[in-house]
């Protein structure tokens, strides 16, 4: 089974809310909510990939120094195994904007469980609640 490396971020605003992104129609797992991020390309380290993805998906800029490692997810789907380092970010420039047709929602930590998520993202909810 092929392992795919993706990276995700828990963006936390000044009110302690977490940004969720809804997978748009046409993508696998469409309609599910996830933490922003994406695939790590060849030659990229996870932090570089996350900075690139945040710019492409949300139109915001941040720096490696603003990304703190939080945890990771390891989950086997039917066709591949996903390995996902997860970072926390509290500082960025710009206002998150849906650049790829996805819906965005700022969510209080106690409400994260109310949003259907891909299986790999679900274990992060408890980690985030403990963090916040």
pLDDT above 90 for 56:
yes
CA separation (Å) from 27 to 4, 31, 114, 124?
A: 16, 9, 21, 22
Quickly state the pLDDT bin for 27 (edges 50, 70, 90): confident
pLDDT above 90 for 28:
no
Q: How many domains does the chain have?
A: 1
Q: What is the CATH number of the domain that holds 9?
A: 3.90.79.10
Mean pLDDT of the chain: 95
Whether 53 contacts 36, CB under 8 Å: yes
Residue 93: predicted pLDDT: 97
What DSSP assignment string belongs to 59-101?
Answer: --B--GGGEEEEEEEEEE-SSEEEEEEEEEE---BS----TTS
pLDDT above 90 for 35:
yes
Residue 101: predicted pLDDT: 87
Q: Which two tokens stand for residue 81?
A: 């195994």
Residue 87: predicted pLDDT: 98
Whether 50 contacts 66, CB under 8 Å: no
**Residues of the domain holding 95:** 2-131
Instruction: Specify the 3-state DSSP secondary structure of 114.
Output: helix
Residue 43: predicted pLDDT: 95
| Cα atoms in the 13 Å half-sphere on the side-chain side of 16 | 9
User: pLDDT per residue over 88-119, tens digit each?
Assistant: 999 999 999 999 989 999 999 999 999 999 99
CA dist., res. 89 & res. 18, Å (int) = 10
């Amino acid at each position: 089974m092929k392992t795919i490396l993706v990276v995700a971020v828990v963006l936390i605003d000044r009110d302690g809310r977490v940004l969720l992104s809804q997978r748009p129609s046409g993508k696998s797992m469409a309609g599910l909510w996830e933490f922003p991020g994406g695939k790590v390309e060849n030659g990229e380290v996870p932090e570089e990939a996350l900075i690139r993805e945040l710019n492409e998906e949300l139109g915001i800029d941040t720096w490696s120094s603003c990304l703190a490692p939080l945890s990771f997810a390891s989950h086997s789907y039917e066709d591949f195994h996903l390995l996902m380092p997860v970072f926390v970010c509290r500082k960025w420039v710009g206002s998150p904007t849906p650049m790829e047709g996805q819906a965005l929602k700022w969510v209080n930590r106690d409400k994260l469980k109310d949003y259907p998520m891909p299986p790999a993202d679900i274990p992060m909810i408890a980690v985030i609640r403990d963090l916040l």
